[in-house]
Structure 1
Amino acid sequence: MLVVHGAWLPGAGLVVWAEDSALPPQAPRRPGRAPRERPHPFAADHAALAAALASAGPQTGTPSARPASAPSQSTGPHAPAAAEPGSVLLRLPTRAGSPADSPELVRPAVAEPVRGPVTLAGWRAFALRYAPADALALLRAAGDRAGVPGATLRHLAELAGFAVDLVRRGRVLPGVAGAPEPRPTAFRPLDGASAAPRAAGPGRAGEVGARAVWRPLLTGADAAWARSLALALPPAGRAAAADVPAGELVADALDALTDAAARAALTRTVLTQGGRRSGAVPAWLAALTAPDGGFTAERVALDALAAELDDWQRDAAGGAVRASFRLVEPAVDPIADALAAALDPTAATDTDATAATATADATDDSGGPGGGAETGSAAAGRWRVEFGLQAADEPGLVVEAGHVWRSPHAPSGLAGRLDSPQETLLAELGRASRLWPELDTALRTATPEALELDVEGAHRFLREGAPVLHAAGFGVLLPGWWRRPSARLGARLQARSRTAPGTVAAADGGFGLDALVDYRWEVSLGDEPISAEELAALAELKTPLVRLRGRWVELDPGRLAAGLRLLRSAGELTVADLLRLGLAEADSADALPVLEVVADGALGDLLAGQAERRLVPLDPPPAFAGTLRPYQRRGLAWLAFLQSLGLGGVLADDMGLGKTVQLLALFAGDPADAGPTLLVCPMSLVGNWQREAARFAPKLRVHVHHGAERARGDDFVAAVHAADLVLTTYSVAARDAVDLAGIDWHRVVVDEAQAIKNASTRQAEAVRALPARHRIAVTGTPVENRLADLWSIMQFANPGLLGPAASFKKAYAEPIERHGDAEAAERLRRMTGPFVLRRLKTDSSIISDLPEKLEMEVLCNLTAEQAALYRAVVDDMMARIESTDGIERRGLVLAAMTRLKQVCNHPAQLLRDGSALPDRSGKLARLEEILDEVLAAGEKALLFTQYAEFGGMLRGHLSARFGREVLFLHGGVGKADRDAMVTRFQSDAGPPLFVLSLKAGGTGLTLTAANHVVHVDRWWNPAVEDQATDRAFRIGQRRRVQVRKFVCAGTVEEKVAAMIAEKRSLAASVVGTGEQWVTELSTERLRELFALEAGAVVE
């Protein structure tokens, strides 16, 4: 495998390099002192790197003859990216003369542990360099590449996405920068010259070179997000620029990527200034859309332009006070409104108006006396946009412009925030007029207080002016009705199936996606239906805003026409069309949004996300040799129901609830001529599926397609046709994609579906390409890190349901993850809910007979030897941390964390001297006490450690201590041995103790013979620890499971353990965990965290 890394070099752009797991990890030993830089022993060469950057489509990252300093003209998400080959000097953690593997690198075999201290050393790796425009294209498609993206590349991809988002929302401002100056970087082109941007050529006499640039406008949430991205920079992100602070490095990358994104969005635009053709401003405007942004101008004119633009940027960033704009509705005659209500009982008045909530995008329900004129009347009165000053940190504090003009002193509410309120208001209004030129009319007066508008102008302000002003950081207050669904027309679809309505058992047959249903449309305003006559009358008004039934309504001609067409249509449509209408978004701006789809029977239940609860539980077929619990029978009915509709599903029951048996019951009920089912899973689960199939569905003919001797060609086709269930692994599915895609599968199932969460990987693409009539994804965590994971899994289960990845990211991922958009989250839940079944085993209504899981934290004391080593490590590492900074400091902090955790486990783990284990570790002594009780009771235990080396020590010591065989599973154990270990442990006569490394044994295994779980050391990731615990706490467990988590009192372990509960609460929100946050702590705070507290030692 190749793990691809990225490094940003200020002034040079993006440099990409990769680790190759197939290359030897050790650098050749050379006599004498280590040189300043050495060739990286397992860095991929240019050809392998280019292949790793290749996407599934025709675009590649192949090195180009075109210099990277000359950006390409195509910078879309999948544009070809031109690269300049060369090498990059990296300062990387090094042990025993070789660079350490990155966390993402997985080697094919477990190597002997490398001993020795960790230092930072220089390593030169093959690399490709990309100019910002090409870097943007590559980073936007980072997930679509063949290589595995490392943390640095993922971080840069997030930066690129942020830059594109800023441009999309208009959060950029033009600026001017000096001509780039050559500067040395860590990148060395193949010709040996230092990579640096080229300076602009000289212009005419008296002119100097400069660059027109687009800069990000960072205020509010955007500024906070930019700070978060700087703090989140992985330490390896500075490996090629260790002398550049993290904040400066991220700012430079964001500036360059934002400039590239803005130019990509303006490729067909040429900015001009009136009729002027010469001078600094016209040249600057033209350069804003030019590929390189270079231009020349006279020094005096250039300085004046730069000063004005800098003032604009500074003003846009905002201060303590900002201008506010409040839209006030025209006054309405209450008598006419009351008369309209009397003549038309349905003409309800908008009486729920409340006071304005003065936030940046607040709504204001207090404008105007309220009430409404006759139903459907056009707005004849004048609208007003009232000006004011608003405290930026207290949006509820607004002072009207009239009050500002009447007094030259700061109003009492704004005292201390500004000195010259009148000058501030004028400056703010002038800045706003650049964004919304219609304000110029009001600014012709000396003391502007408001802008008078007709109804068309008010609508333009609502639709165009308000969003622009809000995005620029101004306060905007709009009427409350503007954000309500009742202010816009929508459609409701009434559908009725031609079969008998009601609850269905979803047993056999069904009606299929191409079955017909009767339907009719209803157009409504909020909850109130609108007749065709009313719609026609509204269309005749030719105005964008009207009073209808006592409320303001926006009238869009396109949507009015669409509503009329819908009301005139009725008839029949297919079930597939019904589902798309009910779950998808409107496909054009003129289309009426579908507010609701009302269907009868099973279709209605599916659209409402209630299918599993309403379906009649389905008894397992006679060929199933087992018993299903009630919730499992409902799950079986849900799976069969979706299958009858030709739809896929995501079975996401909590770990231990028996997803395997529900699927085997489904498989066992297939008719003889249904065709084969392909099940793709990790290698560690193939044996488990074989055993469970033989136990619960013994009549199923199972074929395992795995291993070097697996069938191929005609033999493979014959083997598949002779089987009911074909088991294979994700790696084989990628390698044998052509053979597997040549089979007409009845069903394709992916177990541990998080393996395809990265949609661009070869295995994800191969699995999605498999033809099947029914698809099922099985996972305990449908969303792990990003909503893109959910998209990838749903794209497998129901292709196209969530739309293309790019539109999904724009409509859902970015608004939800970056801005916490609750409406987008609700829309996403509505679209995915019918196809995801998730039940939790802690819910007593789901399963009442699962034994209680008792979790406890076990505090262990250090021995005197441990305490002395602990203090020595703290003193040594803190002295080194205090004398370093940057990436070297981060590396030392992480190394200190690792060493302290090793001391807490056992001195021999830190010293690596092969010394004896007894009587030297408080954890080991407590473990022996617990295991004495476990073995005396005739019970079994699982012992988890994150260190494979320490696991080996435990196996030897515990075997000698108790005179029993102790099993040990780590990443170097092959499939056959792993399956044999699991079988032996699960048997009554099998070994009672099982030591497992957390990474190798924390997922995918059923080890219910154990009812004790001990986490000897902590991973500090609640989700990972929970998955490991669930090896025992799952279906088939008949006893209470006791989970013990060891923590050394008074040490860094106890202090960080407090973080675990917080991280556990964040797991549902998919917040990453780990130890990187520690590297950002101050030296004083680190000393407090590492310090050994009183009471930690036991003699």
Structure 2
Amino acid sequence: MLVVHAVWAEGALVLWAEDSAGRAVTGSRAAVPAHPFSADADSLRAALVGAVGRAAAAVEPVSLVVSLPGSDRHPLPSPALVPPAGSPAVPSPVLRRWRVAGVAVRAGAAGLLAALRDCAADGLAVGPGLAHLCAVHAFAEHLVAAARVAPLVVGVPPCLRWRPLLAGADAAYFAELCAALPPSAHAHLDPGEPPSADVQVHAVLCALVDEVARERLGSAVPPGAAPWTAALTGPDARLRGAGARLAGELREAFDAAHRVGRPRLLLRLVEPEEEAGGDAWSLELWVQSAVDPSLRLPLRDLWRGEGGAWLGPEAEAAALRELDRAARVFSPLARAVEELAPDTVRLSLREAHAFVREAAPRLDAAGVTVLLPAWSGRSALALELTVHDRVPAGRGGLGVDDLVDFSLEAVLGGQRVDLEELAELARLKQPLVRLRGRWTMVDPGALQRTLELLRLRGRGRMRRSRAVALAVAPSAGLPVPVESVRADGALGALLGGDCEHRLTPLETPPGFEGELRPYQRRGAAWLRFLGDLGFGAILADDMGLGKTVQLLALLADERARGVSGPTLMVCPVSLTGNWLREAARFAPGLRVRLHHGPDRPHGNDLARLLGSTDLLVTTYGVVSRDVEELAAVPWRRVVCDEAQAIKNSTTRQARAVRALPADTRIALTGTPVENNLGELWSIMEFANPGLLGPAAQFERAFAAASAEGEDGARAAALLRRRVGPFLLRRLKTDRSIIADLPDKQEMRAWCTLTPEQASLYRAVVDEMAERLDGADRVRRRGVVLGALSKLKQICNHPAQFLGDGSALAGRSGKLERLEHLLGEAVAVGDKALCFTQYTAFGDRLAPYLAEVLGCEVLWLHGGTPRSRREEMTRRFQESAEPMVFLLSLKAAGTGLNLTAANHVVHVDRWWNPAVEDQATDRAFRIGQRRDVQVRKLVCVGTVEERVDELIERKKALAESVVGSGEEWLAELSVAELREVVRLSPEAVVG
């Protein structure tokens, strides 16, 4: 694993990394020895490109000297680094200089930090210095987006640079960033006299603000812009021919911007009156309080001496300075600058259009408030699609090739426009037009193309799949987008998000072992229908509702119908065992293969394997590495499980799965949107490539979807229309779903081992075999019980077995699975109980889970005082916040009422059903009003799986046969023990 560190050195972002495969001890006596864990520059560059793609392509190798704690001969490894075996301990660390290999980013640092900030690549960890720089970059993006930046002339030769304006909450957050600066972020500086944290952070913030602002403003600059405009937006910041006057004015404006209470200029565009001509537009000049932006005053009142008291004595001078600055962005304002007491600027129709389209965004970015008419931010010209479904409303099911009747109408500014009106508007060729007393913007070229479309192909019949594409795609090959849809019948149900209930539910297919619940039959039918239409699907059912079962039912149905072609299942490493076991349980007739590890087939061997495979299970890491080979396969279907793994569209694994061709695609996820709409776009781009248009266009179009008001409601409705037909989400809180569920769901959560776990596991098994040779009955019993305890600890975590206090993250498949399960529960506001029989492991697990999950984790064990036990129980029951309660099985298996939880996870097994059931009953008891989901974590191919099978077979005989804990296992023969504890190949993935 690589732990990537970062410093800001001489105006460049410099990255270096520690590698867990590095040498354990350095033997160098050089004045500045090489860091023994430092990754070489080529390896670091390859890892970065693999994680974030093109954002890391422009790095160049450098050498860096850093001061790090350690001994004279060995540096202390990063806490995130798992040191190699044999690494010496470092008592009383001191600072020592070490030489590391790194890579520098001199242009594009902001883009790389943005990509790394959202990166979740396997084998790559973010060190504290890099994490801090990512936080500074996020702050820079916030300042630019909020227009809290201003230009300054700096350096020799003079250059125009964007600089942050820090006041109020922004200044407070900047102080927090300075206080959080980690030592590794300035390890390259002289440890004797490092600059203060605020100087270091401010230098980085200035550089990132300048880069972010240029990136965002560059595309808005028209050709032939003034030299100073080009210097503020282009790659060359040198100021040519402006002189010291501009430098002084910018410095004065910059200093004034930091003064508390400084009023701001506000420009308000006013439409012409009904009887006035198109050239009677006006731009009213107002002044706005910086302390309370709701306080506004027309400049005409300010000149009359009215209302200026709350603006301060500098209001008039500040307004004129702001007006002069705004005139450099929008030249018609120069007419007001020349007036003695300006209050309004008259604009022609052409000038009004230029102000809305070009000047307003640039003025807003420069800190001038702009108020535009409500119609200015909308797509004025659009189409309305009306579809009449030929399938009778009472007929069950929908046909893929059924024809539908359709018609298209033009909509301008929210009003329908007939062909005659459209033809007249096209003849005028004006970018701003008045329709039925309301002004609106329109592209004359798009208007002409729309007129031609409606005349030639405005109505008729089409296939249902084409109608769906027109209804949801941004443009679908049309001159303007379809903004609204009216549909009846079965197609109306599909587009309205009610298709699931209109389809004929899928009957339990031949070869499927199990009973599908009604909502699962509907979900499987929905997946099949969208696939037959040629569309992808996002099945986003709540955790525990059976997404795996619905997909397996679909595959079993296709096999029974003779549908050919392999399905590729892409999932996290920790879930490969889960898919293999669940497929064997529910659809034993499916031909399922695991494609992972160094011995996985390639070339012709892979082709032959796929000829006899229905479901090939692989991981995101394998797809990233073998994308070219896997992309050459004609897949029937590609499925992404835990599809939030591709929520960042720029990562290597997201690009890799999108590159796989398939007849249809399915994304399985319980959390389609975790942080922002860009995540939904990324998952939809996998399921239905191109359907939502480019990412930037999508985010701009739906940025208001979460806002209140008319614009937010309109954007949210449009988002539902475009995404709704392809996204099915059912919640456990839905009464129709709850009626389908039993009171208590018990299930296995299958886990895999990491290579480190597998190595330790084999060593314990070999040791047990040696010690059993010739052992008498009493000694044999002790050997078996001791080995079984060690194997259970290894399955939990290597650190628990080793007892060395080493890092927890990234070393246990079971811990990764536990994090995921609890993360899903917490994300929807649920509470969970976790049981472990190991108090020492719980001591480390509780704080770790609290940090990872971002919520409180209570920990109750045998040493917890009674008063503390009662207080924790009360808080867990009464708190409204999501929470995790970690409990020792012995201390908390009975006597507690914890009905606030509706999730129970058994981290390690007691191997006694009665004891586990007693623990589960802490949540599933009188007073519980919700269904309880019980998950038992089991490592596949290990003693945990085989004992679980033995328990299930013997469960009918209860404790009379099974006994208590591991005791009964000691009575097995040597041959039986070997079979129980052997490590299967599928146990380890990594």
Tell me whether the two structures share a fold, i.e. TM-score over 0.5. Answer: yes
Which SS does the other structure have where 1:617 is aligned?
Answer: coil
> Matched residues in 2 for 1:233 and 1:821: separation?
40
Preserved contact between residue 62 and residue 102 of structure 2 (Cα < 8 Å): yes
Would the alpha carbon gap of residues 432 and 484 (structure 1) be closer, same or farther in structure 2, given more than 3 Å must change?
A: same
CA displacement 1:230-249 (0-9 Å, x = unmatched): 78877754555684555544
The answer to whether residue 529 in structure 2 is matched with residue 529 in structure 1 is no
> Matched residues in 2 for 1:566 and 1:789: separation?
35
CA displacement 1:277-330 (0-9 Å, x = unmatched): xxxxx8x88876886656899xxx965543222123345668522222333344
Which SS does the other structure have where 1:252 is aligned?
Answer: helix
- Please name the residue that 2:21 is paired with: 22
Would the alpha carbon gap of residues 833 and 132 (structure 1) be closer, same or farther in structure 2, given more than 3 Å must change?
A: farther
Q: 1:840 aligns with which of 702, 706, 731?
A: 731
Q: 1:252 aligns with which of 187, 192, 203?
A: 203
Q: 2:268 aligns with which of 311, 326, 351?
A: 326
CA displacement 1:748-801 (0-9 Å, x = unmatched): 222222334444555444433333212212122223455444344333222233
The answer to whether residue 743 in structure 2 is matched with residue 851 in structure 1 is yes
- Please name the residue that 2:98 is paired with: 124
> Matched residues in 1 for 2:207 and 2:692: separation?
32
Which SS does the other structure have where 1:435 is aligned?
Answer: coil
- Please name the residue that 2:346 is paired with: 452
- Please name the residue that 2:438 is paired with: 551
The answer to whether residue 43 in structure 2 is matched with residue 48 in structure 1 is yes
> Matched residues in 2 for 1:236 and 1:830: separation?
49
> Which stretch shifts more, 538-547 or 650-659?
538-547
> Matched residues in 2 for 1:380 and 1:907: separation?
73
The answer to whether residue 482 in structure 2 is matched with residue 594 in structure 1 is yes
CA displacement 1:369-423 (0-9 Å, x = unmatched): xxxx6xxxx735733322232222333322222222223xxx44x4254114433
* One-letter identity of the residue aligned with 2:736: S
Q: 1:472 aligns with which of 366, 381, 401?
A: 366
Preserved contact between residue 16 and residue 103 of structure 2 (Cα < 8 Å): no
The answer to whether residue 745 in structure 2 is matched with residue 769 in structure 1 is no
- Please name the residue that 1:85 is paired with: 62
Percentage of pairs with the same residue: 42
> Matched residues in 2 for 1:247 and 1:984: separation?
63
> Matched residues in 2 for 1:970 and 1:239: separation?
45
CA displacement 1:66-125 (0-9 Å, x = unmatched): xxxxxxxxxxx68x515142124154799996534454x678x9x799989997855636
- Please name the residue that 2:809 is paired with: none
> Matched residues in 1 for 2:425 and 2:604: separation?
68
- Please name the residue that 1:491 is paired with: 383
CA displacement 1:122-153 (0-9 Å, x = unmatched): 56363434354243454465579997362654
What is the CA distance between 1:438 and its match in structure 2? 0.7
What is the CA distance between 1:636 and its match in structure 2? 1.1
List aligned pairs for 1:1030-1069, cutoff 5 A: none
Would the alpha carbon gap of residues 922 and 578 (structure 1) be closer, same or farther in structure 2, given more than 3 Å must change?
A: same
TM-score, normalised to structure 1, is 0.62
Which SS does the other structure have where 1:470 is aligned?
Answer: helix
List aligned pairs for 1:622-771, cutoff 5 A: 622-670=510-558, 671-707=561-597, 709-737=599-627, 739-771=629-661
Would the alpha carbon gap of residues 462 and 838 (structure 1) be closer, same or farther in structure 2, given more than 3 Å must change?
A: same
Would the alpha carbon gap of residues 662 and 531 (structure 1) be closer, same or farther in structure 2, given more than 3 Å must change?
A: same
TM-score, normalised to structure 2, is 0.68
- Please name the residue that 2:452 is paired with: 565
Preserved contact between residue 489 and residue 523 of structure 1 (Cα < 8 Å): yes
List aligned pairs for 1:502-517, cutoff 5 A: 502=393, 510-511=400-401
The answer to whether residue 893 in structure 2 is matched with residue 934 in structure 1 is yes
List aligned pairs for 1:892-907, cutoff 5 A: none
Would the alpha carbon gap of residues 908 and 14 (structure 1) be closer, same or farther in structure 2, given more than 3 Å must change?
A: closer
CA displacement 1:779-833 (0-9 Å, x = unmatched): 222234554443443332222333445655666689989x999466665444333
The answer to whether residue 1 in structure 2 is matched with residue 6 in structure 1 is no
What is the CA distance between 1:47 and its match in structure 2? 2.0
- Please name the residue that 2:777 is paired with: none
List aligned pairs for 1:405-416, cutoff 5 A: 405-407=303-305, 411-412=306-307, 414-416=308-310
The answer to whether residue 540 in structure 2 is matched with residue 581 in structure 1 is no
Preserved contact between residue 382 and residue 412 of structure 2 (Cα < 8 Å): yes
Would the alpha carbon gap of residues 821 and 229 (structure 1) be closer, same or farther in structure 2, given more than 3 Å must change?
A: farther
* One-letter identity of the residue aligned with 2:450: G
Preserved contact between residue 935 and residue 992 of structure 1 (Cα < 8 Å): no
- Please name the residue that 1:213 is paired with: 161
Preserved contact between residue 20 and residue 82 of structure 2 (Cα < 8 Å): yes
Which SS does the other structure have where 1:524 is aligned?
Answer: strand
What is the CA distance between 1:523 and its match in structure 2? 0.9
Preserved contact between residue 907 and residue 920 of structure 1 (Cα < 8 Å): no
> Matched residues in 2 for 1:807 and 1:55: separation?
26
What is the CA distance between 1:983 and its match in structure 2? 4.7
CA displacement 1:421-441 (0-9 Å, x = unmatched): 433332332232222221122
> Matched residues in 2 for 1:218 and 1:292: separation?
26
Q: 2:252 aligns with which of 286, 294, 311?
A: 311
Preserved contact between residue 906 and residue 921 of structure 1 (Cα < 8 Å): no
Which SS does the other structure have where 1:635 is aligned?
Answer: helix
Q: 2:292 aligns with which of 394, 399, 406?
A: 394
What is the CA distance between 1:451 and its match in structure 2? 1.6
> Matched residues in 2 for 1:774 and 1:923: separation?
57
Preserved contact between residue 665 and residue 697 of structure 1 (Cα < 8 Å): yes
Would the alpha carbon gap of residues 759 and 325 (structure 1) be closer, same or farther in structure 2, given more than 3 Å must change?
A: closer
Would the alpha carbon gap of residues 599 and 312 (structure 1) be closer, same or farther in structure 2, given more than 3 Å must change?
A: same
Would the alpha carbon gap of residues 587 and 327 (structure 1) be closer, same or farther in structure 2, given more than 3 Å must change?
A: farther
List aligned pairs for 1:682-1081, cutoff 5 A: 682-707=572-597, 709-737=599-627, 739-785=629-675, 787-805=677-695, 822=712, 827-848=718-739, 849-851=741-743, 921-922=864-865, 931=890, 934=893, 976-977=942-943, 979-980=945-946, 983=949, 988=955
List aligned pairs for 1:147-158, cutoff 5 A: 148=124, 150=126, 153=130, 156=133
Preserved contact between residue 644 and residue 683 of structure 2 (Cα < 8 Å): yes
Would the alpha carbon gap of residues 210 and 331 (structure 1) be closer, same or farther in structure 2, given more than 3 Å must change?
A: closer
Would the alpha carbon gap of residues 316 and 540 (structure 1) be closer, same or farther in structure 2, given more than 3 Å must change?
A: farther
* One-letter identity of the residue aligned with 1:976: T
Structure 1, unaligned runs of 5 or more: 60-76, 180-208, 275-281, 333-372, 854-901, 911-916, 946-950, 963-968, 995-1099
Would the alpha carbon gap of residues 659 and 567 (structure 1) be closer, same or farther in structure 2, given more than 3 Å must change?
A: same
Q: 1:135 aligns with which of 87, 109, 112?
A: 109
What is the CA distance between 1:620 and its match in structure 2? 2.1
- Please name the residue that 2:391 is paired with: 500
Q: 2:152 aligns with which of 175, 190, 195?
A: 175
Which SS does the other structure have where 2:588 is aligned?
Answer: coil
What is the CA distance between 1:942 and its match in structure 2? 6.8
> Matched residues in 1 for 2:384 and 2:169: separation?
36
Aligned pairs, how many? Answer: 800
> Matched residues in 1 for 2:840 and 2:867: separation?
12
> Which stretch shifts more, 705-714 or 519-528?
705-714
Would the alpha carbon gap of residues 597 and 811 (structure 1) be closer, same or farther in structure 2, given more than 3 Å must change?
A: closer
What is the CA distance between 1:16 and its match in structure 2? 0.8
Q: 2:322 aligns with which of 413, 428, 439?
A: 428
